[in-house]
Structure 1
Amino acid sequence: MPPDRTRAVRDLLDGDAGVAHLAVVPGGSIRPAGDLFLVDVARESADQLIDGLRELHVDRDGGIAMEAVDAAVSRPAEEAERRAPGDGSDAVVWEQVVRTTAADAALSVSYLAFLTIATLLAAVAIVNDSAPLVIGAMVLGPEFGPLAALAVAVVHRRGRVGRQAVVSLLVGFAVAIALATLVALLGRGLGWIGPELLGKDRPATAFITQPDRWSLLVAVLAGIAGVLSLTSARSGALVGVFISVTTVPAAGEMALSLALGGGTDFREATTQLGINLAGILVAALATLALQRAVWRRVPRATPRVQRVGHARS
């Protein structure tokens, strides 16, 4: 950061109860030229410190890089965690959440590939009435990323991220269903599947075309759990979220129905997909808004900073 900001930044960091270690390297940065700060801070204080640094325009004239520390063997670190307001497991680093979900919302080749493969797996699972294959398709599907990004974008008013998330969802499912339909048509042409599949008894996968109130409840619970997993940096819980929702299986059913001429099944699968997407999104929005409101009530230990209005020299 510019040297003219060093004193203010040092006072900000040194005055925060959640800072464990602080080092300043004068002239340590080449691009942009300036001083380099290295700071270890308790998760509870990270968000308010980032806000303070942005008030000092460090993000504009320098840079802020965040990295999670898995373990720190340090008494000052333990003391900083005790002093910091709130609880580390509940703390939300909003800037990290926004940027992580924004990256997940990108309409990339890998996103399209994963969603298409997951939809194809779901279609194969329906043909064979295989619960394990359905679970595999659910876990593989990447659609929760754009859904979470859309919710974060609405709560934090990030229009560009929100638009990108909507495009990724619409284009992603359209491409995945279209390609899966083509594969299903190929299978029909080879005699592997036929219209009789639509009327076949499928005890393991029949739920895909049976949307009801439980579908909505599961989607809402999955949306809440997914957001909590993202904001608390507990990614392991996301696997349970992926297995809970019926988005990708519904897309697989839609593809099969298009290929085999099943109008009723297509409508029911479309309804299932819509219920799940809407339930997840609404629950994610509500959870994020509640978290933001609650976290704002936590006492802030960071001293107020003097705004810097001049440009970098």
Structure 2
Amino acid sequence: MAAEPGTSHVTFAAGAAISPAGDVIEADVARHRANAVLAALKALHLNETGGITFEPAANRLDSGREADKRRLLPHPDRGVVWEQLCEQARTGARLTPTFLVFLAIAFLLSAVGVATASPLTLVGAMVVGPEFRPLSALSVGIVRRDAALVRESLRTLTISFPVAMLATAVATFLWIRLGWIGTGDVENARAFDFIYEVGPFSLVVALLAGAAGMLALVTYTSTVLVGVFISVTTVPAAGLAVVAVFAGKWSVVLSSLGQLGVNLIGIVLAGVVVLLVLQRLELASERPRFLPWMRRRLERARTR
């Protein structure tokens, strides 16, 4: 670890680990070298005999040799830590009760926003919607050729959306029976024609939002994700489709579902393109340092 140009602040604590018993080694690793370092550590089977924990480093103040060492590194902030991104994708692709509840709440908020002509409620529905997690996981699965991740993401999307729409339909029926809203309230959607009118900018917005969302994931910029959620109309389109069914506005239903499909496809496609570009940049700038050094050490150890 100390010989790797992309590492700094290497520490060693002999016998510090209790279960499993062993040593503890820590180091700060430049992002663009993280994949090579993790691959070399896994080649030593440390993930089987012990454990490897990695996370983005916090802000740090230092000077001297370590700071000079990092300044010599090319593009220290470039690159995707694929192990971390894939783990996040696997977590986001899972269909959990919490995910279903959040998606159903988002759909219900969108139905209320349409019925009451409340733009703020629609924005709230966009923010609450968790659909970007399986969509981004689907993009990661396609790029990494992980069939299991692709299947899990598609399973989550194909089950959660119909379930959330069914819950919204039941709630809308009860609101109509209670007299809280009327079937004519779907006409309020004309004030929000961007929800259901499919046009060229529908795909453009979806592509831009998907690209921004994927960049936010790989750079750990969570605040950008909020803007992505607000910019796309996946949740409002699905909620409007449910409300329009009760109003008998079948053209609005079909247009809303079309808007939903365009947004979902655009987000996944943009995520795939961003990851492919980052992967190509990483391969083009990769300079083998750690792995050859580790191979030489292993060969010398076998010889001895």
- The normalised TM-score by structure 1 is 0.88
Contact 1:22 1:37 in 2 (8 A): yes
Matching residue within 73, 76, 81 for 1:84: 73
In the TM superposition, residue 147 of structure 1 has moved relative to its aligned partner by: 0.4
Deviates more, 1:293-302 or 1:245-254: 293-302
Determine the structure 2 residue equivalent to 1:184.
Answer: 172
Cα deviation digits, residues 150-175 of structure 1 (max 9, x gap): 11111112222222211111111111
Determine the structure 2 residue equivalent to 1:167.
Answer: 155
Identity %: 36
Distance verdict in 2 for CA 1:230–1:35, change over 3 Å: same
Distance verdict in 2 for CA 1:218–1:201, change over 3 Å: closer
How far apart in 1 are the matches of 2:3 and 2:269?
A: 39
Contact 1:151 1:285 in 2 (8 A): yes
Asked if 1:54 corresponds to 2:33, the answer is no
Determine the structure 2 residue equivalent to 1:4.
Answer: none
In structure 1, stretches of 5+ residues that fail to align are 1-12
How far apart in 1 are the matches of 2:278 and 2:189?
A: 44
Aligned pairs for 1:1-313 (under 5 A) are 13-75=1-63, 76-88=65-77, 90-200=78-188, 202-203=190-191, 205-300=192-287, 301-304=289-292, 305-306=294-295
- What count of residue pairs does the alignment treat as equivalent? 295
Contact 1:26 1:34 in 2 (8 A): yes
Q: Supply the AA of the counterpart residue of 1:289.
A: L
Distance verdict in 2 for CA 1:80–1:232, change over 3 Å: farther
- The normalised TM-score by structure 2 is 0.91
Q: Secondary structure at the match of 1:14?
A: coil
Q: Secondary structure at the match of 1:179?
A: helix
The structure with the largest helix share of the pair is 2
Q: Secondary structure at the match of 1:27?
A: strand
Contact 2:114 2:188 in 1 (8 A): no
In structure 2, stretches of 5+ residues that fail to align are 300-304
In the TM superposition, residue 186 of structure 1 has moved relative to its aligned partner by: 0.6
Higher RCO (CA-CA < 8 Å; seq separation 6+): 1
Q: Secondary structure at the match of 2:285?
A: coil
How far apart in 1 are the matches of 2:18 and 2:149?
A: 31
Contact 1:139 1:239 in 2 (8 A): yes
Q: Supply the AA of the counterpart residue of 1:169.
A: L
